[in-house]
Amino acid sequence: MAEIFTPFLFAFILAYILRPVVLRLQILGMGKTFASGIGILFGLGVFLIILLLLINLLRYEIPLIKAQLPIWFQSLQTWLGPKLLSLNIEIDWLALREAITQKLTAHFSANANQILASSFETILASGSSVLGGLVNIVFILFVLFYLLIDWKHFFELLKRLIPVRYQATAERLAHETDVLLSQYLRGQMLVILIMAVFYSAGLSLTGMHGALGLGVFTALVIVIPYIGIALGLVLAVLSVILQFGFGSELVIVLIVFGIGQVLEGFFLTPRLVGERIGLHPVAVLFALLIFAKLFGFFGVLLALPASAVVLVLIRFAWTQYAHSDWYQK
């Protein structure tokens, strides 16, 4: 069932995000159909730009990892070897080094271009996967296009399917959900834009190659609570160590991420997003795990917006229960 609903859910979220762009284009005088097409092209353009930035970063970082790994390994052996010997622990460093090098060679090609080429060959080798992936992409774009065109008509149709005595309640719940989602999604986009500029500029102070791509990537992954910022920090630290070693550049990276967390957590998110969705951190992690299990990678991205809808329904159910005669008596 998850395979069936994932494309619809993903297309709906994309339509919700791109709808302000389409409405703005319609205000400028474009027709609904043309504005929807331009909106989809805009979304695809943003995705391709981000992908190219990350590929450029990989093209530079992967050869550095392969070049620096023997040096790191030798430093680790020099520092840790005597300490282990004092505890009567002996390690075959040569065999360990060969095993790590073999694993690294197996999983990483010389550069990003070869990774893309090998990935493309793997995809071509599994024709059914290619066909299924292309069908899903075309299907998502198809649903997205018609959702953007018939957004109001779609919800009017849904309203007519609801019994008349429940329509007012359903409309109120839909409005609450829209307020919560728009506050989160559109506010989060502003946070991403500001933090992308901040992290890109901050990392550029180190003279790091690929600072722009890494800054944009970090700003994007902060939408994944806790995990996102940790991933961005690890990649930035690894990148600066590969390029400059353990010097002042590493301190600058740590300061940039520290200031970024304060700026995003205490100023931007409260003002632009509000109090987020109002879920406890444990509930957030639980939602991430559940949606990741059900819908894969897209589930991680959709976990919090979908949790906002569930939260509205839970609040409504609790209000009804708290005011019921059974509860009062």
Tens-place pLDDT, residues 12-58: 878 888 888 888 888 888 888 888 889 899 888 888 887 777 677 66
Look up the domain containing 288 and give its range: 166-320
**pLDDT-based confidence at residue 123 (cuts at 50, 70, 90):** very low
CA separation, residue 320 to residues 171, 316, 317, 325 (Å): 16, 6, 5, 10
Asked if the model's pLDDT at residue 1 lies above 90, the reply is no
Domain boundary among 142, 161, 180: 161
- Is 81 found in the same domain as 103? yes
Residue 38 CA to residue 50 CA, distance in Å, equals 19
Residue 33 near residue 147 (C-beta atoms within 8 A): no
- Is 98 found in the same domain as 136? yes
- Tell me the per-residue pLDDT of 296-323, one tens digit each, with 9 for 90 and over: 666 666 676 777 777 778 888 888 888 8
**pLDDT for residue 124:** 47
Full DSSP string of 230-280: HHHHHHHHHHHHHHH-SSHHHHHHHHHHHHHHHHIIIIIIIIII-STT---
**pLDDT for residue 7:** 77
- Is 198 found in the same domain as 151? no
Residue 123 near residue 129 (C-beta atoms within 8 A): yes
Domain boundary among 119, 143, 161: 161
- Is 123 found in the same domain as 74? yes
Of 250, 260, 258, whose CA–CA distance to 207 is shortest?
250
- Is 205 found in the same domain as 82? no
Q: Token pair 């550049």 is at which residue?
A: 249
- Is 202 found in the same domain as 70? no
% the chain with pLDDT above 70: 73
The answer to whether position 116 is within a domain reads yes
- Is 175 found in the same domain as 147? no
Domain boundary among 111, 132, 161: 161
The answer to whether position 329 is within a domain reads no
- Is 153 found in the same domain as 7? yes
The answer to whether position 138 is within a domain reads yes
Asked if the model's pLDDT at residue 68 lies above 50, the reply is yes
Domain count, the chain: 2
Of 151, 160, 185, whose CA–CA distance to 303 is shortest?
185
**pLDDT-based confidence at residue 66 (cuts at 50, 70, 90):** low
The answer to whether position 296 is within a domain reads yes
**pLDDT for residue 17:** 81
Asked if the model's pLDDT at residue 264 lies above 90, the reply is no
- Is 8 found in the same domain as 68? yes
- Tell me the per-residue pLDDT of 229-239, one tens digit each, with 9 for 90 and over: 888 888 888 87
- Is 134 found in the same domain as 276? no
Residue 290 CA to residue 287 CA, distance in Å, equals 5
